[in-house]
Chain A
Amino acid sequence: KAGVTQTPRYLIKTRGQQVTLSCSPISGHRSVSWYQQTPGQGLQFLFEYFSETQRNKGNFPGRFSGRQFSNSRSEMNVSTLELGDSALYLCASSLEVHEQFFGPGTRLTVL
């Protein structure tokens, strides 16, 4: 089976712009979770989608949003980018919830 894929792998944006990241889960996996990884804060949970519905949400502002399509592919969007949004954004898929398989991540740099 192909692993979790994320596009793009690298992205450079400027403050105030918005960005959309994409995640394709392992075939058959219905749960997709998103995480932000930074040197200062470590790995932090953003949200989780299951069957096109946001099931869980972490403590991030409303500028961070996401969605899931009927084929389980997921996107996350960050609006009005701030310098502090520079991070590695990881998505993870799982059949149900727990055994999560991570994608390679999207490295976002905000200038």
Chain B
Amino acid sequence: GENVEQHPSTLSVQEGDSAVIKCTYSDSASNYFPWYKQELGKRPQLIIDIRSNVGEKKDQRIAVTLNKTAKHFSLHITETQPEDSAVYFCAAGRSGGSYIPTFGRGTSLIVHP
């Protein structure tokens, strides 16, 4: 089955810095890669996703890059703000009716004012 590794487990940055979280996956058939943000005591929220036919996707301060050959994808957050503090999860799976997502263990991002 799929295996997703996520690093780092904790990331501490100063407000305004950039943050990068990396994930690797094992199943070359995986072609859908979402990222979720979960604030303390709240539900996970999809913040961005990417499909394997795209190498990069941006949405304001957030971007995701995908390297299919190396089987890794990364979340980039620029100009971090204290409200970006949360746990971020990556996931990987095969799109379509057989979508069974495997999640990374999460990265706790702390943005210091």
Contacts and interface: CB of A to CB of B under 8 A. Distances in A.
Interface string A1-14: 00000000000000
A45 B100 contact: yes
A42 B103 contact: yes
Task: Determine the interface band of chain B, counting residues with CB < 8 A from chain A.
Answer: 20 to 34
A101 B46 contact: yes
Interface in A74-111: 90, 97-105
B44 A45 contact: no
A105 B105 contact: no
Contact of B43 (A45, A97, A98, A105): A105
Interface residues of A, number: 20
A102 B98 contact: no
Contacts of B96: 97
Nearest to A31: B99
A44 B97 contact: no
Contacts of A48: 99-100
A18 interface: no
Central interface residue in A42, A50, A56, by most chain B CB within 10 Å: A42
Q: Chain B interface mostly helix, strand, loop or mixed?
A: loop
A58 interface: yes
Contact of B100 (A56, A90, A102, A103): A56
A55 B45 contact: no
Contact of B99 (A44, A59, A97): A97
Nearest to A107: B41
A99 B49 contact: yes
> 4 smallest A-B Cβ distances: which pairs?
A43-B103, A102-B43, A97-B99, A42-B105
Given A56-B97, A99-B46, 10 more contacts: A42-B103, A43-B89, A45-B100, A45-B101, A48-B99, A50-B97, A97-B96, A99-B34, A99-B49, A105-B43
Interface of B: 1, 32, 34, 36, 42-46, 49, 89, 91, 95-106
